Amino acid sequence: MICKILVVDDSATDLFIIKNMLKDFLCLSARDGEEALEMLRYDPDIHLVILDLNMPKMNGFEVLEILNSDSYFKHIRVIILTNAEDVEDEIKGLQMGAVDFIRKPINLNALKTRIDVHKKLLELQHDTEDANKILDRKIAEATKALVITRDITIQALVGLIEVRNLESYNHIMRTQEMMSLLCNHLKGKKKFKNVLTDEYIQELVKTSALHDIGKVAISDSILLKPGKLTDDEFNQMKKHVDYGVIALKKELPEGEEVPSFIKRALEIIEFHHEKYDGTGYPKGLKGENIPLPGRLMAIIDVFDALINERVYKKAYTVEESVKIIKENIGKHFDPDVATGFLEIVPQICTINTLYTQR
């Protein structure tokens, strides 16, 4: 790394002396603060400035103030020049961001020693920045690989459902699109704006595809039964929640923190059959004790089931489905979530039409 030095001093004599002392370095000069800033703006290779504080037009303190206020100059180190008696100016300059000081009259050995020290520090900083860039790139590549692996895993798990014809591919796509639409609508509400961040929404959309993954453990005689389930059959059906949670938790390292993505998936799987009034399953949670992912998935899953034909029922009309949702606000559904959902029913129906006709 070439260290280009800018010496700023209104004294031609001092400039000559300093430049002569630094003849082994690539050295430029400016006679005042304005000229110095002009050179710094157009020469990004200047990394070290030797700055006199007492100058006309623009003094050293004004230059320091501008350098500190503009991130463009963050790579620049400043060594201030002070007279032996100007201790207060020396302290002020250091407080304003200068990294060192040199007193006049200038001692050749002291000057060269300080320049060498700061040159090495600049080289170390430069090497660290390069290393950080390489590390950032590797982290980005590793993160991308993890995301791809995660998405492939989800699709493989969903594929288990498709193979058994338990839920259609269209149902998975509809519920994911509905989750995205609902979350992005709710984040405009005061109650949810600080919760539903873009990252959180992305996790909810991706993991919503897994909400019924536990049904792979339920027998076809129950899942594909065209009529009403018996009490015993319904109890067996309810176990799909536990099966899904167990499957997801099985390979988690014991005692380690669960990644946020897995947390979202578990909350959706475990709590999407809970009801706001506490009459749902598997835990009978009530109100906002039900994690938000479960409350969101509950209304999406029910509405999709209502407006689409299933093996055990014909499809309800949109009007009939909306009526059922309204009747169950505060019972099955979170009032705030349900109110927001009803505001976007036309868009929900568009999604339903799009992924039903495929």
* Amino acid identity at 347: Q
Residues in the chain: 358
- pLDDT at residue 352 above 80? yes
Location of structure tokens 């005042």: 32
pLDDT in tens, 211-260: 888 888 888 888 878 888 899 999 999 999 999 898 888 767 676 677 88
Residue 226 CA to residue 162 CA, distance in Å, equals 18
What percentage of the chain carries pLDDT values higher than 70?
A: 89
Q: Between 137 and 316, where is the model more confident?
A: 316
The predicted structure's pLDDT at residue 251: 65
Residue 358 CA to residue 351 CA, distance in Å, equals 11
69 SS3 class: helix
Average pLDDT, the chain: 85
- pLDDT at residue 178 above 60? yes
Among residues 311, 139, 131, 292, which one has the least CA distance to residue 215? 311
- Strands across the sheet containing 4-8: 26-30, 4-8, 46-52, 77-83, 100-104
pLDDT in tens, 100-154: 888 887 777 777 777 877 777 777 777 777 778 788 787 777 766 666 666 666 6
CB 293 within 8 A of CB 268: yes
Q: Which residues are catalytic?
A: 215
Token pair recorded at residue 109: 């050995």
For the full predicted model, state whether its pTM sits above 0.85. no
- pLDDT at residue 156 above 70? no
